[in-house]
Chain A
């Protein structure tokens, strides 16, 4: 199964069948092993939402226009992070719906908020919600009016409409896309590359970073932009790299709008796949790439040391740890680790080969959904202590030894294998307060970014 722009919606609508809350991986269907009925939301809050992603745009002010109940979650996300001054709200009430003044409410409300800010922001992100879509408001007129009234401010349309998640981009995909919509054409720099759509900056230890630096490419990421002008300079890059599947729509937007060449390099823990990604990138950039066997040997040594440390301790992995839980599982199994459980509701299309391999080498490995209602009632006690990778795996397995990582933690390349080995060893050595840690919203938010 391949990911194409044309099967974007179809992939979101593949239905699974009801198989309970535990399934031997040998019986899993691809890409959706479980039925999605009523959904449960486990108390693991490390993932970033559209507020956190929007706030990565330096100096921007965010304005949410939604019913009060919807505002609650987004506004407290900002309050929790200690940046309420970057955030304002307009509550849509029943009277607005009945009187049909929703467009006026947005235009007047946004202007009022801007007028009251201590300093005019260079950019304003205005988020509308499901209700605006359903009422068919004239969104273009709204933004035309805002831009005409505030020519010194860049406005972009952002969306909080989870109801569209099966019929279009989900809110996170849409937010990652709109985050870059304020980039406008400027002269190109053929030696500049952006990584777009990742929550965390690429570590300098990454072989991807090293490859770009060794070939004199500038690397730009929104998380390391000092101000709005630095963000705008991302339009000068000739290439955009996306690593997370939820960032692909952003890459497609910029390819069309700015003619920046987009390349999607899926995160992987498989050396051959990593090698293939670097080969594709190098061809695109016109540079020479050679597989770094020394780096692989270093990763292998780290894996061997970690395996010696953790022995046969059961390991549970969930999809929030990164976009490739099966790639990670396969790598660990092939290195002798005892992966026993995976928590995932559906697989990314890139995982098909990994599933086939795992079905052969570990057919009894247990798969569990995370959103199935039955997961609310399962026991979270295990007879033997489990090491978890990801917050949901830690919650469901009752683990105190866990790798607290989301969305791959910004890792990429052979370095990701090495770093993961180190993280597992650290998790084994130091138990943590899982209840306290996984209830912190937006793991690592602001750690290195200029927020």
Chain B
């Protein structure tokens, strides 16, 4: 039955997706919710919560405030906290009840910006979509509001890497690895959106010439940047030397002809199934040179799905594909619904299993060959 999960967890929601995208940039993020969304984010969706003091707070919405449409407490408390903490920006994030009561976050954001002089964005997250939708909105918000006109425009290849959060890339060095892979090839990276980059790096993103989208969360921002600064984009993740070479060739080609590209197309094989975020899963089967069925249970985009990725909406949607598979590459928490005879190649995904397997999540950017060798691909 659709929307029912007998035994598997839910993916991270859009509220946490917004927070994860903006976490390292020095802003103050306020989730307009009673408590639960903030608790879920800090406990399960943010592996940096202990080590990095990001400013993510909850408004403490009450029943009376929701019924009476009282936004003033949110506004007053946010102004007071912003004045005390002096964040670089403010982000308001919605949740299920504000969605029901139709809280106008963009309007409140304008009011806060006027009152504090601090750039403020409002994100109408609902808690009913996946983290990709939330992170995509947050990155697009940065692209619309924070990125300034280029200081210098170079004709050479210079990248922004869009769509990087620990939810897809963990905290195992993959984010740093993304930058290193290209810099080692002499391709400078302006900003990694948004791990290991400062807000100043992001603001100067228009100095890059091409955007590389490494998860579906980066696609919306890539389109905004293309519209604002005529920057084309390429979609793919640099897993392994061969696929990375293809990706670099595509980036060079795109620099020349200004055409957007998604690198790779699925060669369908029902015996091997991979479950995951659409761009990372698509790139992984390309890098492994593996015919497979690629299943994406979270938000994606027609541009990526058209490459042969299959969007699924529930545990029940996955079952027929799993039944036919002999090898399944997926988070270990999918094990209970995998056929006993099938081989499960564990690929922990923070957006699915949280911190349960975080320490064993392979760093595929820097350790692709090791993964390949370990599992005999």
What is A's interface to B at a CB cutoff of 8 Å?
Answer: 18, 36-41, 43, 45, 67-73, 75-76, 79-80, 84-85, 87-94, 96-97, 105, 108-109, 112-113, 116-117, 129-131, 134-135, 160-168, 373-374, 376-377, 435, 439, 441
Contacts and interface: CB of A to CB of B under 8 A. Distances in A.
B156 interface: no
A264 B36 CA distance: 29
Contact of A67 (B7, B49, B126): B126
B184 interface: no
B127 A166 contact: no
A67 B128 contact: yes
B13 A76 contact: no
Contacts of A117: 6
A41 B96 contact: no
22 contacts: A36-B60, A39-B35, A39-B38, A41-B58, A67-B128, A69-B37, A70-B40, A71-B9, A79-B9, A79-B356, A80-B354, A84-B7, A89-B5, A92-B3, A134-B66, A162-B34, A163-B97, A166-B64, A373-B55, A373-B85, A376-B57, A377-B85
B260 interface: no
A123 to B, nearest CB: 18
A68 B12 CA distance: 8
Contacts of B49: 43
Interface residues of B, number: 65
A88 B8 CA distance: 8
Contacts of A75: 5, 9-10
A45 B354 CA distance: 14
A109 B96 contact: no
Most chain A CB neighbours (cut-off 10 Å) among B34, B36, B78, B130: B36
A374 B38 CA distance: 16
B3 A73 contact: no
Contacts of A36: 60
Given A69-B40, A97-B100, A38 B57 contact: yes
B63 to A, nearest CB: 5
B138 interface: no
Contacts of B356: 76, 79-80
A168 B62 CA distance: 11
Contacts of A439: 50, 355
B59 interface: yes
Nearest to A395: B50
A131 B61 CA distance: 13
Contacts of B11: 68, 72
Contact of A160 (B8, B36, B38, B61): B36
B43 interface: yes
Nearest to A373: B81
Interface string B18-60: 0000000000001000111111101111000110010101111
A70 to B, nearest CB: 6
A166 B61 CA distance: 10
Given A131-B97, A376-B55, A91 B81 contact: no
A167 B64 contact: yes
A112 B5 CA distance: 10
Interface in B62-77: 62-64, 66, 76-77
B256 to A, nearest CB: 42
B157 to A, nearest CB: 38
B353 A69 contact: no
Cβ-closest 9 pairs across A and B = A69-B13, A69-B127, A73-B40, A162-B34, A37-B77, A163-B34, A71-B10, A38-B57, A67-B127
A162 B63 CA distance: 9
B353 A163 contact: no
A112 B1 contact: yes
A109 B1 contact: yes
Given A377-B53, A439-B50, A38 B36 contact: no
A93 B39 contact: no
